[in-house]
Chain A
C-alpha cells in the first residue's frame, strides 16, 4: 500500500507533464488571439487538478489491474488450447464493450438525425430510435467480429498488412456504393468504438497471446487488434446504410 502511494505521486508528476500543452494552447488562444480574460479561472484550475489526479490513478490501475488480468487470461486460454472459448471471449469483449460505449450512442443518435433529414428514414422518434439502435448493434457486432479476426491472425501468424490493406480496399469499394449521407458517419464510427477501458485490455490480450505462443513476436504479432476494431465498423456501417 505504501509503495503504491509513492508511485501514485510519481505518476502525478508525469500526468502534470502530460497536461501542460493543453493549458498552454488554451491560454495562448484566449489571451493572444481572442484577447479575452480566462473565465472561471478557479474552476479551471481545480478541474485541471482533478484531471491530473484522475490520469494518475488510471495509469496506476492499469499496471495493477487491467494489464495483468488481460495477460493472465491470454496465457490461460493459450494453455487451455480451446480455440472456441478464446474466440467466444474475444467476441464477447468486443461486442459487450462497444454496445454500451457512450461515444457510440451519441454518434448513433446524430446519425439518425442525419438520416431523417436526408429522408432515408421517417422523421419520427420511433423510426429514428430504431435506426440508431440498428446502427449500434451493427457497430458492436463488427467490433466483436474484428476481435475474432484479429485473434485468429495472432494465432496463425498472418501478416497484418494484407488484412488491413484488404480492409481498406473494402472501405473504398463500399464508399462508391454507399449513400452519401452515411459515409461521414461510417468513417467516424471506426474511431469512436475503442474506449479507454477496452484499449488497455485488448492490447494486453493481444500481447499476452503473442508472447505465450511459440514463434510469435509480441511486437510484430501482438498489436493490431485495435486496428481491426477501427476498420470493420466502417465497412459494416456503410453496408447498414445501403440496406436501409
Chain B
C-alpha cells in the first residue's frame, strides 16, 4: 500500500512537470499580452486540478494493471515456443501466417486502447459539439479505433515479412489523397486530426512493446531497425477510416444541411 502512494506521488510530480510549461505559457500570455481577467477563474483552476489528478490516476492505474500484462502478453505471443510448440519445431523458413495470433492481438489491442485514449475523447467531444450533434462521439471513436486496429495489424505483418516501411506509408498517403477528393468537406480537417490524436498515453507504450517484442524474436529482424514504425501505421490508417466513415454517413450530413 505504501508503494502505491509513493508511485502515485512520483507520477503526480511527473504530470505536474508535464503540465507546467502549458500553464506557464497560458498564464504568461493571459496576463502579459491579453491583460484581461480570465472568465470563471476559479472553475478553470479547479478544471486544471481535475485534469492533473485525472491524468495521474490514469497513469498509475495503467502502470499497475494494463502495461505489465499487456507487455507480458506481447512477449508471450511473439515467443517462438508459443508459436511452434517447442524450440525444436522452429522451422528454418517461416511463413507469415505462423504469426496469426499476433495480428489478431495487434488489431484487438489497437482497437480497445484507442477507445480509451483520452485525447481522442477530447477531440470527439469537441467535434460533437461543433457539428451540432451530426458527428457522434461514439461513432468517431469507433471509426478511429477501427483504423488503428487495421493499421497496427498491418504494421505487425510488415515487421514479420520484413518489407520496407515506406512502401506502406506512401501507399497509405496515396489512398488518403484520393479519398480527400471524394470525402465531404466538413470531415477533412477532423479526419487529418484524428491521425495525430490516436497515439498517446495508452496506445504508444503497448504498441511499442509489441513492435520490439516482434522485432526481437522474428528471425532476421533487428529491434533497432524494424521495431519502429508501428506508431506511424497507427496515425495513418485512422485518417482513411474516418473519411470512409464520413462517406458512409454522408446522407445524414446532406439531410442536416437541407434542414438549415
Binding site for B on A (CB under 8 A): 4, 18-19, 21-22, 24-26, 28-30, 33-34, 36, 38-40, 43-69, 72-73, 76-77, 80, 82, 85, 88-89, 92-93, 96-97, 99-103, 110, 113-114, 117, 160-161, 164-165, 168, 171-172, 175, 180-181, 183-185, 187-188, 190-201, 203-204, 207, 211, 217-227, 229-230
Contacts and interface: CB of A to CB of B under 8 A. Distances in A.
A26 B25 contact: no
Most chain A CB neighbours (cut-off 10 Å) among B38, B118, B125: B118
B126 A51 contact: no
Nearest to B65: A47
A219 B257 CA distance: 13
B44 A229 contact: no
Judged by DSSP, the binding face of B is helix
A101 B44 CA distance: 23
Interface string B131-169: 100000000000000000000000000000000011001
A197 B22 contact: yes
B116 A65 contact: no
A64 B43 contact: yes
A100 B21 contact: yes
B130 A222 contact: yes
Nearest to A114: B224
Interface string B17-61: 111111011100110011010111001111111111111111111
Nearest to B176: A168
A65 B57 CA distance: 18
Contacts of A29: 73, 77, 101, 105, 108
9 contacts: A47-B62, A50-B58, A57-B53, A99-B21, A183-B165, A188-B229, A190-B235, A220-B186, A227-B195
